[in-house]
Amino acid sequence: MRRLAIGITCYPSIGGSGIVASQLGSELAKLGHKVHFISYEPPFRLDIAQPNIQFHQVEINQYQLFKYPDYTLPLAVKMVEVAQRHKLDILHVHYAVPHATAALLATHIAQTERQRTPHVVTTLHGTDITLLGRDPNLRPIIKYSIENSCGVTAVSESLRKETVQVLRTRKPIHVVHNFYRPMPPRRDRTEVRHSLRVADRDFLLIHMSNLRPVKRVPDVLHVLADTNDRRIKLLILAGGPFDEYRPLAKELGISNRLIVRNNVVDIENYINAADTGLYTSEKESFGMGVLETMSFGKPVIATGVGGVSEIVQDRRTGFLVKLGDIGAMARDILKLAADPELAKRMGDAARERAQQEFSAEKSVCRYIEYYCSILSSCKCRG
């Protein structure tokens, strides 16, 4: 097939959507496609020096006339500029608002000026539906943006069903699961554990998230406290401020068993040093941290919500627990800590599942096939 010119817009901050968009762009570039990232700053894990990748910065002006700076309009203008200059075939936007909205405005401008118009593909990641989609002030524009995109994908079957239910849309939504290509650890497991002051005999839990309320960080801390075992420690790789949770950690008496690292890029070194993943979300459209943990052969203990249940196989690659069941999670941790053979067996199964079902090759191939189907069948752009 011919090489495509693809524009990608995502939130550049730490979070599953930005990570996946960056990895998708990187994988597409390796295959020879020209990839253009359009955002207000480079995505967190994107290597903009990689061949076939270009970054185009959106300038946000703060005019006194406007109470709040606007991003949607300058983003749309930058999309028009990049699409015309680089002859984009596809404009792949992650999140319906404001990215799909800006993309649709950009294509309308391009059509009006009889310029090259890319096909808009919108990927739904969760919050745009589970939270914003339920807001009556935003639901109409979200529904409009989805239904007027050339193609729409969701990162899990759970999210696809919720989108149809919340928006009552008849737009076909194609499921392409998130993926992860693990980087080989660059530091020895023992070295990393010693740097964290974790002994060889300790059992190290890992939790990676942006610490938003939906992640239920207090539950993570309560689970650690409920294990009541000084050998069990917890490493949190935080994509957001943790200070608000320190008083609770002190109250629970777990401060000396808790390690927090902020904005970590080399997550592979830390996951490799851990023994088990712990995730307590009340909602999770996919669960990128869960997949990343499994990719390194670690079993995962998680709430069986949303897309997580599409990743973790209960009692095979880890344990799925009811939301808020602190005691069950603590018991499962103690079970794994006491049985290294069980932990290894589950970890091996977790790695195998991640490699077979959520590999970069599999998901990127699905995206390319979807792009081609949109280019050949969608007549809404030209």
Q: What is the pLDDT of residues 182-193, one digit of tens each?
A: 999 999 999 999
Range of the domain at 67: 5-179+360-377
Q: Average pLDDT in the 242-257 region?
A: 98
Per-residue burial over 63-98, b = 16 or more CB atoms within 10 Å of its CB, e = otherwise: eeeeeeeeeeebbbbbbbebbbebebbbbbbbbbbb
pLDDT digits (tens, 9 = 90+) for 223-237: 999 999 999 999 999
Query: What helix, strand, coil percent values describe the chain, rounded to 5?
Result: 45, 15, 35
Q: Are residues 71 and 28 in the same domain?
A: yes
Q: What is the pLDDT of residue 64?
A: 72
Q: Are residues 371 and 349 in the same domain?
A: no
Question: Would you say 93 and 120 are in contact if contact means Cβ atoms under 8 Å apart?
Answer: yes
Q: Are residues 370 and 345 in the same domain?
A: no
Handedness of CA 303, 306, 308, 313 (dihedral sign): positive
Is residue 266 in a domain? yes
Q: Are residues 366 and 341 in the same domain?
A: no
| Better-scored residue on pLDDT, 236 or 12 | 236
* DSSP labels, 297-316: T--EEEE--TTHHHH--BTT
Q: Residue 334 above 90 pLDDT?
A: yes
Q: What is the pLDDT of residue 128?
A: 78
- Kindly report the backbone phi and psi dihedral angles of residue 232, in degrees, each rounded to the nearest multiple of 5, phi listed first: -90, 120
Q: Are residues 224 and 321 in the same domain?
A: yes
Helices (H) and strands (E) in the chain, counts: 15, 13
Q: Are residues 55 and 193 in the same domain?
A: no
- Kindly report the backbone phi and psi dihedral angles of residue 90, in degrees, each rounded to the nearest multiple of 5, phi listed first: -130, 140
Specify the CATH number for the domain of residue 314: 3.40.50.2000
Q: What percent of the chain has pLDDT over 70?
A: 98
Is residue 184 in a domain? no
Q: Are residues 290 and 202 in the same domain?
A: yes
Q: Are residues 116 and 205 in the same domain?
A: no
Query: What's the mean pLDDT when you consider all of the chain?
Result: 94
Is residue 310 in a domain? yes
Q: Residue 111 above 60 pLDDT?
A: yes
Q: Residue 138 above 90 pLDDT?
A: no
Q: Are residues 224 and 365 in the same domain?
A: no
Least confident of 24-28, 118-122, 378-382: 378-382
Separation CA 289–CA 16 (nearest Å) = 8
Q: What is the pLDDT of residue 380?
A: 60
Q: Are residues 163 and 194 in the same domain?
A: no
Q: Are residues 246 and 369 in the same domain?
A: no
Q: How confident is the model at residue 379 (pLDDT cuts 50, 70, 90)?
A: low
Give the pTM. 0.91
* Number of domains making up the chain: 2
Q: How confident is the model at residue 14 (pLDDT cuts 50, 70, 90)?
A: low
Least confident of 39-48, 171-180, 214-223, 253-262: 39-48
Amino acid in position 337: A
Is residue 41 in a domain? yes
Q: Are residues 242 and 122 in the same domain?
A: no
